[in-house]
A = this chain, B = another copy of it.
């Protein structure tokens, strides 16, 4: 949004003198009230200023957050998700760790017959690695967090609610899944991954578009 110099002046005057009437504003700026009318209309419709009847104009505390919110809400999980790394639950912990390093990811999603059954993170791997277990013998299915304890998102959900789930559940990433039914059972196919990295990258992109 490109504000004119006069509109910026009005905002500053309101901030310093609120509440302030349009007459007082016109006096300060040295123009007629009529000349200010279009500017005040813009500033109130954009919710930067609030017009209180018989009181005057005040500066709205969070003028831009609704715009930021609207912008954020438009972005979908499928727009920012990454390729997931998946392994079969019979894979040994050692091989899973090698895969973690090769793909440079923090979480691996575990499948059985192509369906999501669990997830393992660097934290899970570190715990077992220092525990004295033979990681060449234990399959990843033994140490993973198992469904239904995995929080997931779907491609059409908005990125904002995915970020909320990440923060509330204190996880680093979520599997992005598509539901399907097989033998009367609801199953989940992993189609992507949404992590704090994707959110941070989105945050950076939100700024870049304007540079």
A10 CB to nearest B CB, Å: 13
Q: Could you mark each residue 136-161 of chain A with 1 if its beta carbon is under 8 Å from any beta carbon of chain B, else 0? A: 00000000000000000000000010
Cβ of A24 within 8 Å of any chain B Cβ, yes or no, is no
Closest to A94 in B: B130
- A196 contacts across to B, CB distance below 8 A: 195-197, 199-200
A96 CB to nearest B CB, Å: 11
- A126 contacts across to B, CB distance below 8 A: 97, 100, 122, 125-126, 129
Pick out which of these stretches binds chain B: A28-36, A59-67, A110-118, A183-191: A59-67
B69, A67: Cβ atoms closer than 8 Å:
no
- A160 contacts across to B, CB distance below 8 A: 203-204, 207
A209, B65: Cβ atoms closer than 8 Å:
yes
A121 CB to nearest B CB, Å: 9
A95 CB to nearest B CB, Å: 11
A163, B200: Cβ atoms closer than 8 Å:
yes
Q: List 22 A-B contacts (CB under 8 A).
A: A1-B46, A2-B45, A38-B41, A64-B68, A64-B70, A64-B71, A65-B206, A65-B209, A68-B210, A69-B210, A72-B203, A73-B207, A97-B126, A97-B130, A122-B123, A129-B130, A160-B203, A160-B207, A163-B200, A166-B200, A200-B200, A202-B203
